[in-house]
Structure 1
Amino acid sequence: MANGLDRLSYQSRWFHVAPERKFLFWLLMMVLAFSLPPFGQGVLLVALAMFTCWLLRVSLWRWLRWMALPMGFLLVGVVTILFSVTREPQQLLYGVHLGSVWIGVTPQGLASANSTLWRSLAALAATFWLVLNLTFPQLIVLLKRGRVPRLLTEQILLTWRFIFILLEEAAALHRAQTLRFGYRTLPLSYRSLAMLVSLLFTRVLLRYKALVTTLDIKLYQGDFHL
């Protein structure tokens, strides 16, 4: 079962480009994201957005929805940088008096939050570009070329495989519960969700045992062919 990321990476216009070139391009974009001023980082962000949409044949709206997923964590970090607590209100561009202290925005905090925001967005867009254009077999090739320990590579491979198993089982259980009106009311939804979690654990264990049996039949000796 291939997820959405797999399908997108296989339909990329750069599907046949060597993974080493993709990785080097990503490194270049990361260097630019951390070295350019905020205006340059904004230009890089727009360029990466257009380039990613063209390579994957997707709309800009879909790309923006992907970027919106981690934005909550990013905004929390930016807000903590933006606001400062001080006893000297003359240092603030705008502030609110709370007790014996002032909470507000300083020029240094505003500049730091602005640079952090654009730097993070540019780096995030570059990382999204790599993830969406690099297939999993190409990732394995990169790990082997990078002399990553074989055991770690095998763990990554198995984790990737079991993510698909987990999603497949969860989707099947949720579909069955929905057909039986398991999410009709809020209390019923909580009960159905609890049943889904418990059944999901059991189903995944059964799939794991089936995988072990398959490996034993194929005379598995402890090493995967990578």
Structure 2
Amino acid sequence: MIVIDKLCYHSRLRYENAGEKFAFAIITLCICVMSRSIAVAGIVLAVTGVLTVKKGGVPVSRYLRFLTAPIIFLLLSTIAIMFHLSRTPMDMFAVPVGSWYITTSYSSFFYAVQLIFTALGAVSCLYFLSFTTPMPDILQVLEKLHCPKLLMELMLLIYRFIFVLLDTASALSTSQNCRLGNRDYKTSLKSFGMLGSVLMIRAVERSNRLYASMEARCYDDTIRVLSENQPPKKSVIAAIVVFDSALFLFAVWRRFFS
């Protein structure tokens, strides 16, 4: 099992109603993205973080580690928005490079920070859903929303094949380590190349065997998964409605009246 899947099944929110968690995550994500407000994104980031860590029981260090990857990606991707190469210096700062300037303006800097916080807020909503709701429960919610069956089956098969791929890669990597395939940099590069080439072949073979075993068990193009139905709680629904309504009103106020 991958780390996110382990955290999900050990979460203290695991047995809460999946529809409530799905609705909270998606509605909050939409409000965060549409508002494009640093304040709204900060509220979303704080609330979903507290729910995931405090209520869900995910360790703080592990949660911050998962946030590190999108933060690094966002910082690198917003460099082009924040900094400009121009012959005319802008109002925030300008570093002369010959007859050109590496420069930026306050508006560009604010826009980059706004994008970073908005994206982090959206990611935190998805992390909340991923760390508290198993894939079968999410598929059950999508089924109730009349999502196409083909799409849901593709999601479930791809999700299952991720574990097949990781298991195959782990076995190959262990075999290489036992044969001192990573004793130095040159050998590690060679082993990594061989790992990639063999992994594709082995993964296809295992996926074919998996599909054959499904057909041997009377697979009829419909994957049936047992799910645990947890009744919705009125108090939780009320809390979601109050929070998202207040967040929406605050986003509207920030956008049009501040």
CA contact (8 A) 2:28 2:125 kept: yes
Moved over 6 A (4+): none
CA contact (8 A) 1:173 1:196 kept: yes
Residue number in structure 2 paired with 1:75: 75
Residue number in structure 2 paired with 1:118: 117
Distance 1:168 1:113, change over 3 A: same
Gaps of 5+ in 1: none
Say which structure, 1 or 2, has more relative contact order (CA 8 Å, 6+ apart): 2
Percent identity, aligned pairs only, is: 28
Tell me whether 214-223 or 113-122 shows the greater mean CA deviation. Answer: 214-223
Which runs of structure 2 are paired with 1:22-101 in the superposition (5 Å)? 22-34=21-33, 35=35, 37-89=37-89, 91-101=90-100
CA contact (8 A) 2:18 2:141 kept: yes
Deviations 1:40-88 (A, max 9, x none): 4324323322221123323222111100112222012222221234443
Deviations 1:112-168 (A, max 9, x none): 122222222222212211111121111111221222211111111111111100000
Amino acid corresponding to residue 209 of structure 2 in structure 1: A
Whole-Å separation in 2 of the counterparts to 1:67 and 1:95: 31
Whole-Å separation in 1 of the counterparts to 2:113 and 2:92: 15
Whole-Å separation in 1 of the counterparts to 2:92 and 2:204: 58
Report how far residue 31 of structure 1 moved: 4.2
Distance 1:80 1:148, change over 3 A: same
Aligned residue pairs, count: 224
Distance 1:58 1:107, change over 3 A: same
CA contact (8 A) 1:12 1:133 kept: yes
CA contact (8 A) 1:183 1:192 kept: yes
Whole-Å separation in 2 of the counterparts to 1:127 and 1:216: 34
Which runs of structure 2 are paired with 1:162-173 in the superposition (5 Å)? 162-173=161-172
Residue number in structure 1 paired with 2:254: none
Residue number in structure 2 paired with 1:216: 215
Whole-Å separation in 2 of the counterparts to 1:182 and 1:39: 50
Tell me whether 168-177 or 95-104 shows the greater mean CA deviation. Answer: 95-104
Gaps of 5+ in 2: 226-258
Deviations 1:80-112 (A, max 9, x none): 2212344432x3221123454432121211221
Whole-Å separation in 2 of the counterparts to 1:23 and 1:77: 29
Distance 1:47 1:219, change over 3 A: closer
Using structure 1 for the length normalisation, give the TM-score: 0.89
Residue number in structure 2 paired with 1:3: 2
